[in-house]
Amino acid sequence: MTDFEAIASALEERGFCVVPDFLSRSEIDFLVEEFDACPDSEPAPRTKHGARHLGDQPIDRRTASPAGPGQTAALRTTAVGRKETFQGIRPRMEAFARELTGAKAALYQILYLQTPVTNLPVHQDHEHFFLTEFNPTHLNYWIPLVKPSRTEAGRHLIPWDRLGEKSPRLFNLCRRSGASFMRSLRDGGTVYMSDWSGVHWVEEDFEIEDAMETPEVGPGDLLLLSLNTIHATQTTDDRRLAVSLRTCDPETRIDWHRVAGISTPAMMRHLAGQNPLSFPVFQHIQENDFGSTLGDIVPTLTGEGE
Ligand SMILES: [Fe+2]
């Protein structure tokens, strides 16, 4: 029996929760097969790190070792779920979200992330925050599908309770906000940069690593995060394939000003680069008289509206 109350209170107090064996073997296999069939979400990554690794040999889905004939799962840039992926996994994801939040739930994004292509520094997510702002029904289900080691290629997390103890200022800046980066400074201390408000803050006596936790997870385990939980890629030495699924209350109103009017460099890059989440939302709201809910744009985001 899933203890939804315990999960909800962990999300509130810490910002994350591990649910072991969330996916069955057949659900893992389904999502890996869909990865091979899904389109890339963006053109090749512009980072040197990603570009260096793309074009590597295909790997075996289950062991992440070099693949034999017929085994694909080649290392590639980020991919997004297609219509069939949504239809296969939606019922159980939305039922879980409804039980947990007590609100309606819509699965609106399926994003595959591979290491070593993906290697993200400490941040709060950007495009998802631009979409709904802080919203407790907005959840991020990060699930490894191919992961050779339980202790490597996972996610570093900054629990809210530890951040609150070590740096009340950063806690207050981040707890109800999002779309930010944090970096360690060479001479010690941490700089916080918000791409939502433009605020920069240097916390001189705080090292972000001192607040980090890195849960051990294997294929099919769920690492459930709130929309704005601070996180980073752990290591990229192993080849790991994970999927990130997003649910949120479909009645959440999408604010045109928030999506289009944020003139930070990060937001301009998202729109100008035709980011797969921000750009369709931008277009949809413009075409619908500036009044849309998340539910209105779900068919566009999932490919089911075509
Ligand atoms: Fe992220």
Ligand 1 centroid, distance to 32 Cα (angstroms): 20
245 occurs within a structural domain:
yes
9 occurs within a structural domain:
yes
Please give the Cα distance from 16 to 215 (Å, whole number): 10
Ligand 1 centroid, distance to 68 Cα (angstroms): 32
Ligand 1 centroid, distance to 203 Cα (angstroms): 22
Which position has the token pair 């802080």? 134
Ligand 1 centroid, distance to 69 Cα (angstroms): 33
Total domain count, the chain: 1
127 occurs within a structural domain:
no
CB 155 within 8 A of CB 223: yes
Q: What is the pTM of this model?
A: 0.88
41 occurs within a structural domain:
yes
Ligand 1 centroid, distance to 55 Cα (angstroms): 24
pLDDT in tens, the chain (306 residues): 889 999 999 999 999 999 999 999 999 999 999 988 886 665 544 455 554 554 444 444 445 554 443 333 456 667 889 999 999 999 999 999 999 999 999 999 999 988 776 677 899 998 899 899 999 999 999 999 988 888 888 899 999 999 999 999 999 999 999 999 999 999 999 999 998 888 899 999 999 999 999 999 999 999 999 999 999 988 767 778 899 999 999 999 998 777 776 667 777 777 777 777 888 888 888 888 888 999 999 999 998 887
197 occurs within a structural domain:
no
CB 169 within 8 A of CB 151: no
Ligand 1 centroid, distance to 232 Cα (angstroms): 7
224 occurs within a structural domain:
yes
Structural domain of 242: 4-121+135-154+216-302
Residue 40 DSSP label: B
Ligand 1 centroid, distance to 193 Cα (angstroms): 15
Ligand 1 centroid, distance to 1 Cα (angstroms): 29
Give the CATH number of the domain where residue 263 resides: 2.60.120.620
Ligand 1 centroid, distance to 126 Cα (angstroms): 8
171 occurs within a structural domain:
no
Ligand 1 centroid, distance to 44 Cα (angstroms): 18
How far lies 171's CA from each of 76, 137, 303, 304, in Å?
35, 20, 37, 39
140 occurs within a structural domain:
yes
